[in-house]
Amino acid sequence: MDESGLTIPSELGRVTVSPGAIAQIVGRVAAECYGVVGMSLRSPGAARDRVTRLLPKGKPARGIVVRNVDGAIALDLYVVVAYGLNLAEVAATVRSQVAYEVERLTGLQVASVDVHIQDVKRTA
């Protein structure tokens, strides 16, 4: 596991995608996922440092940890879900939607998407 960019091999040379760029994509997809009303500020423990180190400030990449596992993307999402929803189903949808979109948009393999529901919020 490391934090370096992910490489897409091509005949004309290597294409490297930074974890920050991937986090941007993930953030946008997550925002459109039904039931997700926010990303958690805090991601616990060690992951927290990595998030703040890797990601540009103020972008929708908050609460997203991108790791490179043997050339595939491993993602952790720390999300806030609307109150009164079936959490397991929301998490399952987030997982498949994020994995699908990231693979579609980057061509990189997604090894795992772990969804952590950090909070449940009543929305007005």
Partner 1 sequence: MSDLETVRRLARAALVSLELSRERIDDLNVYPVPDGDTGTNLTLTVRGVVEALDASTATDRPALVHEVTRAALMSARGNSGVILSQIVRGAAEVLGAADAVDSEVVARAFRGGSDEAYRAVRKPVEGTMLTVIRELAEAAETAPRTEPPDLLALLVERGEEAVERTPEQLDVLRDAGVVDAGGAGLVELVRGLAAAAAGEELAEPPTRRYEPLDHDAVHRELSRYRYCTTFVVEGDALDQGVLEAELERLGDSLLVVGDPTALKVHVHTDDPGAALTLGTAAGAIEGVEIADMHRQTEEREERLLAALPGGAARSGVVAVVAGEGNRRLFEDLGAERIVAGGQTMNPSTADLLSAVESVAADEVVLLPNNSNVLMAAEQAARVAGRQVEVVPTESIPAGLAALVAFHGERSAEENAAAMREALAGVVTGEVTIASRDASTDGVAIREGQYLAVLDGTIVASGAGFDDVARALFGRLLAEPRDVLTILRGEDAPPLNGLIDELTARHPELELDVHEGGQPHYHLLLSAE
Residue in 47, 82, 118, 119 binding partner 1, rule: CB under 8 A: 82
Length of the chain: 124
Q: Rule CB under 8 A: say whether 97 interacts with partner 1.
A: yes
Q: Rule CB under 8 A: say whether 23 interacts with partner 1.
A: no
Please identify, using beta-carbon distances, which residue of 6 and 33 lies nearer to partner 1: 33
Q: Rule CB under 8 A: say whether 34 interacts with partner 1.
A: yes
Beta strands at 36-39 and 64-69: parallel, antiparallel or unpaired: unpaired
Number of H helices, E strands in the chain: 3, 6
Q: Rule CB under 8 A: say whether 42 interacts with partner 1.
A: no
Look up residue 40 and give its amino acid. S
Please identify, using beta-carbon distances, which residue of 42 and 100 lies nearer to partner 1: 100
What DSSP assignment string belongs to 49-92?
HHHHHHS-TTSTTTTEEEEEETTEEEEEEEEEEETTS-HHHHHH
How far apart CA 37 and CA 96 sit, in angstroms, is 17
Q: Rule CB under 8 A: say whether 96 interacts with partner 1.
A: yes
**Region from 7-15, 18-26, 42-50, 77-85 binding partner 1, contact rule CB under 8 A:** 77-85
Question: What does the binding site for partner 1 look like in residue numbers (CB under 8 A)?
Answer: 31-38, 82, 84-86, 89-90, 92-93, 96-97, 99-100, 123-124
